[in-house]
């Protein structure tokens, strides 16, 4: 989870960015309510459609949720947490979102806001109308938050380290259980089981389990066969943050033909890109280092897609490792590198690791075995 | 998945409800975009934060998504599907939601809408502003959609039957694997594995796995012991719809003491409530039948919580089986009954089944073994 200190620091940082342009900040996007208050609603929760409203100014903050979120609200950091009843043992409230919005708007109205900074791509129109009803103007603050999010705070880095560590050991445990006869969906199920038993938290599972000539995508109802190359691209989404690691393995038999050579190329491309993961380097140079490595080996045409990407509350997020990413890297960013070679004659192969960029270079925080 | 016929019929039905009050309908809530177009974005998808906009009038419908959703959009039913590029191999679009909103608003603007029916509790303020920019007024349509959703269409019933069937066989398969030494989280992982290997679809897993004196909630990092009573309340959320079934079992030993008598009471209470599942009966009478059955046996104080609830895109949803639910049942509703007895001296126990209400009574569509 995120820390109270981190939440307070982020709230203060955003206030500083809007100083003079807005007085109150009112957020409703689930990932940013998490970022600034540690309230997280799992996407698989019964409260998935509930609305949480976080409002703050100066030293004063308030979080409005419906009673489906009362458990989650207990570990949220806000000076005041208002739980609006929505479903008791006696009668339900027909419109939970509306009940929360009305409560938040009434509270804000008493504060006489001048201009409210909000994310207009997420703020419900009904709440925007309520805010205008208080006489407040609305300023879009989403780009400023996205700018902030590029560089992680210490509590975010702690969370992501631990998430990537558990993802790594889960993936290693699954590869030991991959044998001919298992369906791709069964491998997907194994990833879930290994992760939740380690992490003791719900998991929204995103994983490509691909064999044959697929590059990415959901598993299929197909059983693995001896000699298959399998890419497992495992992106557990847990506690609101995302890990993203990949491995390629061969089922029940050692790699053959050019597979060993291709895997060496993936590791070499990763090393070349790793060496550029430091502040000031534009994302396109990282892409270029990886692409150049494959080109030197005459494998350039088998490298399609990106070289990696930023990771955090979303996936992918800034910085991007694409041919035209001009944005320079910065210390505190979390990124992945995912070299892949997609040659149908050899079999599709990809590895992926996660890094924290430090002042002088990057630390690889994934610990799984990505190759054969 | 939902059918094209069902999506068209639902769109026509909603248009009929707003006739004379609005001309265009513009929806953005993920569950209602699914309901009217079959576009579904899994909550565990990388595109979880993408925005889809569905607009229609008369015979004309259009769906706007970003390119993260291009796979999902291929099975959506709309006359026109517009995929807005957001992340290629070359450069990313910084604000995917904004790009989709602008494209949808420009398209609508050319239609010169008078009044747009939308869900103001979900519609992003930025899109509402764009719509106002076209000169359109906005009418809140959420209550009308929620009214429609109480009675399911045939394609919804087909989907829910198959979902509940797979949930039932998954739960039965898991109970055979429950033994002392397994952690509660491992049982949770088994539910995921059994379900996804049967259904070949991602699962957003919601499940209470509770032992000791808990009634509901996430699993804990605790190993099962011989003689534990375990409630498994399994609510798979897959393809946008929810199942919800429960069983109580005893670990590695037959039930003892008053546990058999309590289980008989649960089955009797279920039978009494089942007999009232027919059109016209208010939800409170179903609650009363269950509560009355426990009271007759002197167990009334151990029955806390509701007697069941409606089920579909959300959980719980109308109709509710609470002491003050006056709404009469109707044919085509999908509901659960969940009798529970929570007596710490005996152990907490709950069973839960799913029903479709027909013209003369209810059909139980869950097939699992709920009791010992």
Identify which of A120, A189, A217 has the shortest CB distance to residue B192.
A189
Q: Which residue has the higher pLDDT, A48 or B50?
A: B50
Tokens of B149: 């959703």
B114 close to A114: Cβ distance less than 8 angstroms: no
B166 close to B199: Cβ distance less than 8 angstroms: yes
CB-CB under 8 Å, A190 with B197:
no
Segment holding A99, helix H or strand E: helix A96-109
ipTM above 0.90, yes or no: yes
Segment holding B106, helix H or strand E: helix B96-109
B65 close to B39: Cβ distance less than 8 angstroms: yes
Predicted confidence (pLDDT) at residue B89 exceeds the cutoff of 60: no
Q: Please name every residue paired with A92 in a beta bridge, in sequence order, or none if there are none.
A: A87
Residue A110 has, within 13 A of its CA and on its CB side, a CA count of 6
CB-CB under 8 Å, B325 with A91:
yes
CA gap A371, A231 in Å, rounded: 10
Identify which of B87, B95, B305 has the shortest CB distance to residue A89.
B305
CA gap B109, B150 in Å, rounded: 33
**Least Cα separation, residue A40 to chain B (angstroms):** 14
Predicted confidence (pLDDT) at residue A370 exceeds the cutoff of 60: yes
Give the pLDDT of residue B126.
Answer: 97
Q: Which residue has the tokens 């799984």?
A: A368
Q: Which residue has the higher pLDDT, B25 or A47?
A: B25
Predicted confidence (pLDDT) at residue A90 exceeds the cutoff of 70: no
φ, ψ for residue A90, nearest 5 deg: -110, -55
Per mean pLDDT, which range of A343-357, B33-47, B232-246 is the poorest? Answer: B33-47
Give the pLDDT of residue B227.
Answer: 96
CB-CB neighbours of B35 under 10 Å: 28
CB-CB under 8 Å, A138 with B126:
no
Q: Domain B4-149: which topology?
A: Creatine Amidinohydrolase; Chain A, domain 1 (3.40.350)
B183 close to B33: Cβ distance less than 8 angstroms: no
Per mean pLDDT, which range of A65-79, A103-117, B39-53 is the poorest? Answer: B39-53
Q: Which residue has the tokens 């320079």?
A: A328
B303 close to B319: Cβ distance less than 8 angstroms: no
Predicted confidence (pLDDT) at residue A259 exceeds the cutoff of 70: yes
Which of A11, A81, A71 lies closest to A46 in space, CA to CA?
A: A71
Question: Between the CA of residue A25 and those of A29, A36, A55, A118, A181, what are the distances in Å?
Answer: 13, 11, 5, 6, 55
Predicted confidence (pLDDT) at residue B88 exceeds the cutoff of 70: no
Give the pLDDT of residue A215.
Answer: 87
Q: Which residue has the higher pLDDT, A313 or A87?
A: A313
CA gap B128, B124 in Å, rounded: 6
Mutate to test the interface with A, among B126, B210, B241 (most CBs of A within 10 A): B126
DSSP state of A365: -
Which of A277, A272, A321, A322 lies closest to A294 in space, CA to CA?
A: A272
Residue A60 has, within 13 A of its CA and on its CB side, a CA count of 8
Residue B26, preceding peptide bond in cis (omega within 30° of 0): no
Widest distance between CA atoms in chain B = 73
Give the pLDDT of residue A130.
Answer: 94
Give the pLDDT of residue A212.
Answer: 82
**Least Cα separation, residue A239 to chain B (angstroms):** 12
CA gap A171, A273 in Å, rounded: 23
Tokens of A59: 């030293």
Q: Domain A154-364: which topology?
A: Creatine Amidinohydrolase (3.90.230)
B128 touches chain A (CB under 8 A): yes
How sure is the predictor about A59, in pLDDT bands with cuts at 50, 70 and 90? confident
Identify which of A92, A121, A237 has the shortest CB distance to residue B124.
A121
Question: Between the CA of residue A7 and those of A4, A79, B93, B140, B158, what are the distances in Å?
Answer: 5, 12, 28, 35, 46
Predicted confidence (pLDDT) at residue B90 exceeds the cutoff of 70: no
Summarize the confidence of residues B334-347 as an average pLDDT: 97
Compute CA B16 distance to the chain's CA centroid, rounded to the nearest angstrom: 26
Query: Which positions in chain A touch B305 (Cβ < 8 Å)?
Result: 89
**Least Cα separation, residue B88 to chain A (angstroms):** 8
How sure is the predictor about B25, in pLDDT bands with cuts at 50, 70 and 90? very high
Predicted confidence (pLDDT) at residue A89 exceeds the cutoff of 80: no
Predicted confidence (pLDDT) at residue B59 exceeds the cutoff of 90: no
Give the pLDDT of residue A88.
Answer: 66
Predicted confidence (pLDDT) at residue A92 exceeds the cutoff of 80: no
Residues in chain B: 372
Give the pLDDT of residue B46.
Answer: 84
Mutate to test the interface with B, among A96, A100, A192, A315 (most CBs of B within 10 A): A192
Domain boundaries, chain B: 4-149, 154-364
């Amino acid at each position: 989870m995120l820390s109270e200190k981190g939440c307070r620091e982020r709230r203060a940082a955003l206030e500083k960015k809007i100083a003079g342009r807005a007085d109150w900040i009112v957020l409703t996007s689930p990932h940013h309510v998490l970022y600034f208050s540690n309230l997280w609603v799992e996407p698989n929760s019964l409260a998935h459609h509930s609305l949480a409203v976080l409002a703050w100014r100066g030293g004063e903050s308030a979080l409005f949720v419906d009673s489906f979120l009362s458990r989650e609200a207990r570990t949220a950091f806000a000076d005041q947490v208002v739980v609006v009843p929505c479903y008791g043992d006696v009668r339900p409230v027909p419109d939970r979102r509306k009940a929360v919005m009305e409560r938040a708007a009434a509270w804000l109205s008493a504060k006489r806001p001048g201009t409210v900074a909000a994310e207009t791509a997420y703020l419900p129109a009904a709440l925007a109308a309520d805010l205008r009803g208080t006489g407040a103007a609305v300023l879009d603050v989403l780009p400023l938050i996205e700018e902030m999010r590029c560089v992680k705070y210490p509590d975010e880095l702690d969370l992501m380290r631990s998430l990537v560590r558990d993802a790594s050991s889960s993936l290693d445990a699954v590869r030991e259980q991959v044998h001919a006869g298992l369906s791709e969906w069964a491998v997907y199920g194994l990833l879930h089981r290994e992760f939740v038993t380690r992490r003791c938290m719900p998991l929204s599972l995103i994983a490509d389990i691909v064999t044959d000539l697929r590059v990415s995508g959901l598993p299929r109802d197909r059983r693995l066969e001896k000699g298959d190359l399998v890419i497992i691209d495992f992106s557990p989404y847990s506690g609101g943050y995302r890990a993203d690691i990949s491995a390629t393995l061969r089922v029940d038999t050692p790699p053959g033909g050019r597979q060993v050579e291709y895997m060496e190329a993936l590791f070499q491309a990763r090393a070349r890109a790793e060496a550029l993961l430091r502040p000031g380097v534009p994302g396109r140079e990282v892409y270029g280092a990886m692409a150049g490595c494959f080109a030197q080996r005459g494998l350039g045409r088998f490298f399609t897609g990106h070289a990696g990407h930023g990771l955090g509350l979303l996936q992918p997020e800034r910085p991007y490792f694409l041919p035209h990413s001009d944005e320079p890297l910065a210390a505190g960013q979390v990124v992945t590198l995912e070299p892949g070679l997609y040659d149908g004659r050899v079999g599709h192969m990809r590895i992926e690791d996660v890094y924290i960029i430090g002042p002088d270079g990057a630390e690889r925080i994934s610990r799984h075995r990505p190759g054969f």
